[in-house]
A = this chain, B = another copy of it.
Protein backbone atom coordinates (compact mmCIF):
# COMPACT_ATOMS: atom_id res chain seq x y z
CA UNK A 1 0.00 0.00 0.00
CA UNK A 2 1.39 3.39 -0.98
CA UNK A 3 2.35 5.55 1.96
CA UNK A 4 -0.41 8.11 1.60
CA UNK A 5 -3.24 5.69 0.83
CA UNK A 6 -5.41 4.85 3.81
CA UNK A 7 -7.14 1.89 2.14
CA UNK A 8 -10.56 2.05 0.60
CA UNK A 9 -10.96 5.27 -1.37
CA UNK A 10 -9.09 7.79 0.78
CA UNK A 11 -5.63 9.33 0.64
CA UNK A 12 -4.01 11.49 3.28
CA UNK A 13 -1.92 14.52 2.42
CA UNK A 14 1.57 14.39 3.88
CA UNK A 15 2.07 18.16 3.69
CA UNK A 16 -1.52 19.37 3.36
CA UNK A 17 -1.96 22.10 0.74
CA UNK A 18 -3.41 25.45 1.76
CA UNK A 19 -6.46 27.25 0.45
CA UNK A 20 -4.75 30.55 -0.37
CA UNK A 21 -7.75 32.40 -1.80
CA UNK A 22 -11.13 31.86 -3.38
CA UNK A 23 -13.85 33.75 -5.21
CA UNK A 24 -17.51 33.23 -6.03
CA UNK A 25 -19.55 34.87 -8.78
CA UNK A 26 -23.29 34.36 -9.20
CA UNK A 27 -26.41 35.32 -11.12
CA UNK A 28 -29.28 37.58 -10.11
CA UNK A 29 -31.49 34.92 -8.50
CA UNK A 30 -28.60 33.56 -6.45
CA UNK A 31 -27.74 37.12 -5.47
CA UNK A 32 -31.24 37.51 -4.05
CA UNK A 33 -30.80 34.35 -1.94
CA UNK A 34 -29.40 33.80 1.55
CA UNK A 35 -25.76 33.96 0.40
CA UNK A 36 -26.30 37.07 -1.72
CA UNK A 37 -24.15 39.46 0.26
CA UNK A 38 -21.21 37.04 0.20
CA UNK A 39 -20.64 36.70 -3.54
CA UNK A 40 -17.73 38.64 -4.97
CA UNK A 41 -19.82 39.67 -7.95
CA UNK A 42 -23.47 39.33 -8.90
CA UNK A 43 -24.64 39.79 -12.46
CA UNK A 44 -27.63 42.03 -13.06
CA UNK A 45 -29.02 39.52 -15.55
CA UNK A 46 -28.22 36.12 -17.06
CA UNK A 47 -25.87 37.41 -19.71
CA UNK A 48 -22.78 38.75 -17.93
CA UNK A 49 -22.47 41.18 -20.83
CA UNK A 50 -22.34 38.44 -23.46
CA UNK A 51 -24.51 37.56 -26.45
CA UNK A 52 -25.43 33.98 -25.47
CA UNK A 53 -25.92 32.01 -22.26
CA UNK A 54 -23.00 29.75 -23.13
CA UNK A 55 -20.71 32.74 -23.58
CA UNK A 56 -22.14 34.18 -20.37
CA UNK A 57 -21.17 31.03 -18.49
CA UNK A 58 -17.59 31.30 -19.72
CA UNK A 59 -17.43 35.02 -18.93
CA UNK A 60 -18.64 34.30 -15.39
CA UNK A 61 -15.96 31.68 -14.76
CA UNK A 62 -13.29 33.85 -16.31
CA UNK A 63 -14.21 36.71 -13.99
CA UNK A 64 -14.30 34.39 -10.98
CA UNK A 65 -10.87 32.96 -11.82
CA UNK A 66 -9.46 36.44 -12.20
CA UNK A 67 -10.89 37.55 -8.84
CA UNK A 68 -9.46 34.50 -7.07
CA UNK A 69 -6.02 35.19 -8.56
CA UNK A 70 -6.28 38.82 -7.45
CA UNK A 71 -7.18 37.86 -3.89
CA UNK A 72 -4.25 35.44 -3.76
CA UNK A 73 -1.98 38.13 -5.20
CA UNK A 74 -0.97 35.58 -7.81
CA UNK A 75 -0.73 36.27 -11.54
CA UNK A 76 -2.20 33.55 -13.78
CA UNK A 77 1.32 33.08 -15.16
CA UNK A 78 2.41 31.97 -11.68
CA UNK A 79 -0.08 29.08 -11.64
CA UNK A 80 1.45 25.76 -12.60
CA UNK A 81 -1.83 23.99 -13.33
CA UNK A 82 -5.52 24.68 -13.60
CA UNK A 83 -8.16 21.99 -12.96
CA UNK A 84 -11.60 22.84 -14.28
CA UNK A 85 -14.72 21.51 -15.92
CA UNK A 86 -18.41 22.16 -16.27
CA UNK A 87 -21.71 20.68 -17.44
CA UNK A 88 -21.88 21.85 -21.04
CA UNK A 89 -21.29 19.53 -23.97
CA UNK A 90 -17.52 19.13 -24.41
CA UNK A 91 -17.01 21.34 -21.33
CA UNK A 92 -16.88 24.56 -23.32
CA UNK A 93 -17.98 26.58 -20.30
CA UNK A 94 -14.57 26.11 -18.70
CA UNK A 95 -12.35 25.71 -21.76
CA UNK A 96 -13.55 28.92 -23.39
CA UNK A 97 -13.24 30.70 -20.03
CA UNK A 98 -9.61 29.63 -19.74
CA UNK A 99 -8.43 29.64 -23.35
CA UNK A 100 -6.57 32.95 -22.96
CA UNK A 101 -5.27 32.26 -19.45
CA UNK A 102 -2.01 30.68 -20.55
CA UNK A 103 -2.16 28.22 -17.64
CA UNK A 104 -1.49 24.49 -18.24
CA UNK A 105 -5.00 23.08 -18.17
CA UNK A 106 -6.42 19.74 -17.04
CA UNK A 107 -10.04 19.48 -18.19
CA UNK A 108 -12.35 17.46 -15.96
CA UNK A 109 -15.81 16.03 -16.30
CA UNK A 110 -17.43 15.14 -13.02
CA UNK A 111 -20.79 16.80 -13.69
CA UNK A 112 -21.86 18.58 -10.49
CA UNK A 113 -19.06 16.88 -8.51
CA UNK A 114 -16.47 18.96 -10.35
CA UNK A 115 -15.60 21.36 -7.51
CA UNK A 116 -14.73 18.42 -5.25
CA UNK A 117 -13.03 16.49 -8.06
CA UNK A 118 -10.86 19.46 -8.98
CA UNK A 119 -9.88 19.97 -5.32
CA UNK A 120 -9.00 16.26 -5.04
CA UNK A 121 -6.66 16.30 -8.03
CA UNK A 122 -5.21 19.74 -7.29
CA UNK A 123 -4.41 18.69 -3.72
CA UNK A 124 -2.69 15.48 -4.81
CA UNK A 125 -0.61 17.31 -7.42
CA UNK A 126 0.49 19.89 -4.82
CA UNK A 127 1.20 17.36 -2.09
CA UNK A 128 2.97 15.17 -4.63
CA UNK A 129 5.55 17.93 -5.09
CA UNK A 130 4.61 18.83 -8.66
CA UNK A 131 3.52 22.43 -8.13
CA UNK A 132 3.47 25.34 -5.72
CA UNK A 133 0.29 27.11 -6.83
CA UNK A 134 -2.69 25.77 -8.75
CA UNK A 135 -6.34 26.64 -9.28
CA UNK A 136 -9.46 24.47 -9.02
CA UNK A 137 -12.58 25.95 -10.56
CA UNK A 138 -15.99 25.24 -12.03
CA UNK A 139 -19.25 26.87 -13.07
CA UNK A 140 -22.81 26.28 -14.20
CA UNK A 141 -25.54 28.45 -15.71
CA UNK A 142 -29.28 27.89 -15.38
CA UNK A 143 -30.15 28.88 -18.94
CA UNK A 144 -27.36 27.04 -20.74
CA UNK A 145 -28.05 23.92 -18.65
CA UNK A 146 -31.78 23.94 -19.34
CA UNK A 147 -31.10 24.28 -23.05
CA UNK A 148 -28.53 21.50 -22.85
CA UNK A 149 -30.25 18.95 -20.66
CA UNK A 150 -33.97 19.61 -20.74
CA UNK A 151 -36.08 21.94 -22.87
CA UNK A 152 -35.63 25.37 -24.41
CA UNK A 153 -36.66 27.91 -21.78
CA UNK A 154 -39.15 29.40 -24.25
CA UNK A 155 -41.08 26.12 -24.11
CA UNK A 156 -42.06 26.93 -20.52
CA UNK A 157 -42.21 23.29 -19.34
CA UNK A 158 -43.70 22.50 -15.93
CA UNK A 159 -41.22 21.43 -13.29
CA UNK A 160 -42.18 18.68 -10.83
CA UNK A 161 -41.55 19.23 -7.09
CA UNK A 162 -38.49 16.93 -7.15
CA UNK A 163 -36.76 19.04 -9.77
CA UNK A 164 -33.89 21.34 -8.89
CA UNK A 165 -32.74 24.70 -10.17
CA UNK A 166 -29.32 24.85 -11.80
CA UNK A 167 -27.31 27.54 -10.07
CA UNK A 168 -25.89 30.32 -12.21
CA UNK A 169 -22.60 30.59 -10.40
CA UNK A 170 -18.90 29.92 -10.41
CA UNK A 171 -16.26 29.22 -7.81
CA UNK A 172 -12.48 29.25 -8.00
CA UNK A 173 -10.00 28.21 -5.34
CA UNK A 174 -6.29 28.98 -5.39
CA UNK A 175 -4.37 26.25 -3.61
CA UNK A 176 -0.74 26.42 -2.57
CA UNK A 177 1.74 23.84 -1.37
CA UNK A 178 2.80 26.03 1.54
CA UNK A 179 0.66 28.30 3.70
CA UNK A 180 -1.27 28.81 6.88
CA UNK A 181 -4.50 27.03 6.02
CA UNK A 182 -7.29 26.18 5.73
CA UNK A 183 -5.69 22.90 4.69
CA UNK A 184 -6.94 20.09 2.48
CA UNK A 185 -5.94 17.11 4.59
CA UNK A 186 -7.72 14.13 2.98
CA UNK A 187 -9.20 13.23 -0.37
CA UNK A 188 -11.85 10.53 -0.84
CA UNK A 189 -12.43 9.64 -4.49
CA UNK A 190 -15.85 8.40 -5.49
CA UNK A 191 -17.01 5.26 -7.21
CA UNK A 192 -19.81 5.42 -9.76
CA UNK A 193 -23.10 4.30 -8.21
CA UNK A 194 -26.22 3.53 -10.21
CA UNK A 195 -29.31 2.33 -8.38
CA UNK A 196 -31.53 2.50 -11.45
CA UNK A 197 -33.19 5.91 -11.12
CA UNK A 198 -34.32 7.09 -14.56
CA UNK A 199 -36.21 10.30 -13.70
CA UNK A 200 -34.11 13.23 -14.96
CA UNK A 201 -36.28 15.48 -12.82
CA UNK A 202 -35.15 13.71 -9.67
CA UNK A 203 -31.39 14.16 -9.58
CA UNK A 204 -31.35 14.20 -5.80
CA UNK A 205 -32.51 10.60 -5.62
CA UNK A 206 -30.11 9.58 -8.41
CA UNK A 207 -27.07 11.11 -6.72
CA UNK A 208 -27.82 10.41 -3.03
CA UNK A 209 -26.52 6.79 -3.15
CA UNK A 210 -23.13 8.07 -4.37
CA UNK A 211 -23.02 10.63 -1.55
CA UNK A 212 -23.85 8.00 1.04
CA UNK A 213 -21.23 5.67 -0.42
CA UNK A 214 -18.39 8.20 -0.49
CA UNK A 215 -19.15 9.71 2.93
CA UNK A 216 -19.37 6.21 4.43
CA UNK A 217 -16.07 5.28 2.79
CA UNK A 218 -14.48 8.44 4.16
CA UNK A 219 -15.56 7.66 7.72
CA UNK A 220 -14.45 4.03 7.41
CA UNK A 221 -11.11 4.80 5.74
CA UNK A 222 -10.12 7.59 8.15
CA UNK A 223 -11.60 6.05 11.28
CA UNK A 224 -13.28 9.38 11.92
CA UNK A 225 -16.84 9.55 13.19
CA UNK A 226 -19.07 12.22 11.63
CA UNK A 227 -18.74 14.13 14.92
CA UNK A 228 -15.12 14.80 14.04
CA UNK A 229 -16.43 17.40 11.62
CA UNK A 230 -18.12 20.66 12.60
CA UNK A 231 -20.03 20.54 9.35
CA UNK A 232 -20.48 18.07 6.47
CA UNK A 233 -21.66 19.25 3.07
CA UNK A 234 -22.97 17.71 -0.09
CA UNK A 235 -22.96 19.76 -3.26
CA UNK A 236 -26.43 19.77 -4.74
CA UNK A 237 -28.67 16.94 -3.60
CA UNK A 238 -31.44 19.36 -2.72
CA UNK A 239 -33.99 18.71 0.02
CA UNK A 240 -35.01 15.28 -1.27
CA UNK A 241 -31.49 13.91 -1.73
CA UNK A 242 -30.44 15.43 1.59
CA UNK A 243 -33.22 13.55 3.34
CA UNK A 244 -32.24 10.30 1.61
CA UNK A 245 -28.66 10.66 2.86
CA UNK A 246 -29.89 11.41 6.39
CA UNK A 247 -32.15 8.36 6.26
CA UNK A 248 -29.45 6.04 4.91
CA UNK A 249 -27.08 7.00 7.70
CA UNK A 250 -29.87 6.67 10.28
CA UNK A 251 -30.30 3.05 9.12
CA UNK A 252 -26.62 2.62 10.05
CA UNK A 253 -27.30 4.10 13.46
CA UNK A 254 -25.63 7.39 12.59
CA UNK A 255 -27.47 10.67 13.14
CA UNK A 256 -26.11 13.43 10.90
CA UNK A 257 -28.88 15.91 11.75
CA UNK A 258 -27.63 19.37 12.68
CA UNK A 259 -24.21 18.63 11.22
CA UNK A 260 -24.99 17.77 7.61
CA UNK A 261 -26.03 20.42 5.09
CA UNK A 262 -26.56 20.51 1.34
CA UNK A 263 -25.33 23.46 -0.72
CA UNK A 264 -28.47 23.25 -2.87
CA UNK A 265 -30.55 24.07 0.20
CA UNK A 266 -28.22 26.82 1.45
CA UNK A 267 -27.93 28.87 -1.71
CA UNK A 268 -31.68 29.47 -2.17
CA UNK A 269 -34.49 30.30 0.26
CA UNK A 270 -36.99 27.52 -0.48
CA UNK A 271 -39.86 29.50 1.07
CA UNK A 272 -39.34 32.61 -1.00
CA UNK A 273 -37.58 31.42 -4.15
CA UNK A 274 -39.36 29.08 -6.57
CA UNK A 275 -36.61 26.50 -6.93
CA UNK A 276 -38.54 23.38 -5.84
CA UNK A 277 -36.08 20.88 -4.29
CA UNK A 278 -33.15 23.34 -4.28
CA UNK A 279 -30.10 24.34 -6.25
CA UNK A 280 -28.00 22.10 -8.49
CA UNK A 281 -25.18 22.36 -11.00
CA UNK A 282 -21.40 22.51 -10.67
CA UNK A 283 -21.71 26.15 -9.64
CA UNK A 284 -23.94 25.30 -6.67
CA UNK A 285 -21.28 23.54 -4.61
CA UNK A 286 -18.53 25.77 -6.02
CA UNK A 287 -20.11 29.12 -5.21
CA UNK A 288 -21.41 27.94 -1.82
CA UNK A 289 -17.93 26.69 -0.94
CA UNK A 290 -16.35 30.00 -1.90
CA UNK A 291 -19.08 32.36 -0.64
CA UNK A 292 -20.04 30.61 2.57
CA UNK A 293 -18.14 27.50 3.70
CA UNK A 294 -14.57 28.80 3.35
CA UNK A 295 -15.45 32.26 4.74
CA UNK A 296 -17.08 30.59 7.77
CA UNK A 297 -13.88 28.59 8.27
CA UNK A 298 -11.75 31.71 8.03
CA UNK A 299 -13.95 33.30 10.70
CA UNK A 300 -13.30 30.28 12.89
CA UNK A 301 -16.95 29.24 13.06
CA UNK A 302 -16.09 25.83 11.62
CA UNK A 303 -12.64 24.32 12.11
CA UNK A 304 -13.15 20.94 10.43
CA UNK A 305 -15.30 20.54 7.36
CA UNK A 306 -16.00 17.60 5.07
CA UNK A 307 -16.89 19.01 1.65
CA UNK A 308 -18.35 16.63 -0.90
CA UNK A 309 -20.06 17.15 -4.23
CA UNK A 310 -22.12 14.74 -6.28
CA UNK A 311 -22.51 14.47 -10.03
CA UNK A 312 -25.16 12.80 -12.19
CA UNK A 313 -23.24 11.19 -15.03
CA UNK A 314 -26.01 11.04 -17.60
CA UNK A 315 -26.55 12.86 -20.89
CA UNK A 316 -29.71 13.67 -22.85
CA UNK A 317 -28.70 10.86 -25.24
CA UNK A 318 -28.30 8.28 -22.48
CA UNK A 319 -31.67 9.31 -21.05
CA UNK A 320 -33.31 8.98 -24.48
CA UNK A 321 -31.82 5.51 -24.80
CA UNK A 322 -33.51 4.48 -21.57
CA UNK A 323 -30.39 4.34 -19.43
CA UNK A 324 -30.56 4.98 -15.70
CA UNK A 325 -28.59 7.80 -14.09
CA UNK A 326 -25.19 6.92 -12.58
CA UNK A 327 -23.99 9.18 -9.79
CA UNK A 328 -20.58 9.95 -8.33
CA UNK A 329 -19.38 11.82 -5.26
CA UNK A 330 -15.92 13.06 -4.34
CA UNK A 331 -15.00 14.48 -0.94
CA UNK A 332 -12.22 16.52 0.66
CA UNK A 333 -11.48 17.22 4.31
CA UNK A 334 -10.72 20.87 4.90
CA UNK A 335 -9.26 21.75 8.28
CA UNK A 336 -8.36 25.17 9.68
CA UNK A 337 -5.32 23.94 11.55
CA UNK A 338 -3.16 20.83 11.53
CA UNK A 339 -3.02 18.72 14.69
Residues of A within 8 A of B (CB): 1-5, 9, 11, 14, 51-52, 54-55, 80-81, 85, 87-92, 95-96, 98-111, 117, 120-121, 124-132, 148, 177, 189-192, 194, 311, 313-318, 321, 323, 326, 328
CB distance from A115 to the nearest CB of B (A): 13
Cβ-defined partner of A96 (8 Å) among B85, B131, B323:
B323
Number of copies: 2
Which 3 residue pairs spanning A and B have beta carbons closest together?
A128-B128, A104-B189, A90-B315
Residues of B within 8 Å of A132, CB to CB, are 1-2, 5
Distance in Å: Cβ of A90 to nearest Cβ of chain B:
4
Min CB–CB distance A136 → chain B (angstroms): 13
A100: B residues at CB distance < 8 A:
192, 194
Closest Cβ–Cβ distance, residue A324 to chain B (whole Å) = 9
Q: Which residues of B contact A190 (CB under 8 A)?
A: 104-105
Known: A88-B315, A124-B128, A317-B54. A104 touches B191 (CB 8 A): yes
Residue from the list B4, B81, B107 in contact with A128, Cβ < 8 A:
B4
Contact status A129-B4, CB under 8 Å: yes
Check A313 against B129 for contact (C-beta < 8 Å).
no
Q: Which residue of B lies closest to A324 (CB)?
A: B99
Residues of B near A85 (CB, < 8 A) are 107, 109
* CB-based contact B194/A99 at 8 Å: yes
Excluding A89-B316, A96-B326, 6 further A-B contacts by CB distance (< 8 Å) are A87-B90, A89-B317, A90-B111, A90-B315, A91-B313, A101-B192
Residues of chain B within 8 A (CB-CB) of A128 are: 4, 124-125, 127-130
Contact check, B326 vs A99: say whether CB atoms are below 8 A apart: yes
A11 surroundings in chain B (CB, below 8 A): 130-131
Assess the B108–A318 pair: CB atoms within 8 A. Answer: no
Interface centre among A100, A102, A107, A323 (most CB of B within 10 A): A107
Say which residue of B3, B52, B314 sits within 8 Å of A321 (CB atoms).
B52
Expressed in whole angstroms, the Cα–Cα distance for A316 and B92 within the complex equals: 10
Q: Can you sample 29 A-B contacts with CB below 8 Å?
A: A1-B132, A2-B129, A2-B130, A2-B177, A9-B104, A14-B129, A52-B321, A54-B321, A55-B321, A89-B89, A89-B317, A92-B317, A95-B192, A95-B326, A96-B323, A99-B313, A101-B191, A104-B191, A105-B191, A105-B192, A106-B108, A106-B121, A107-B108, A107-B109, A107-B110, A107-B111, A107-B328, A108-B108, A108-B109
Residues on B with C-beta less than 8 A from A110 are 106-107
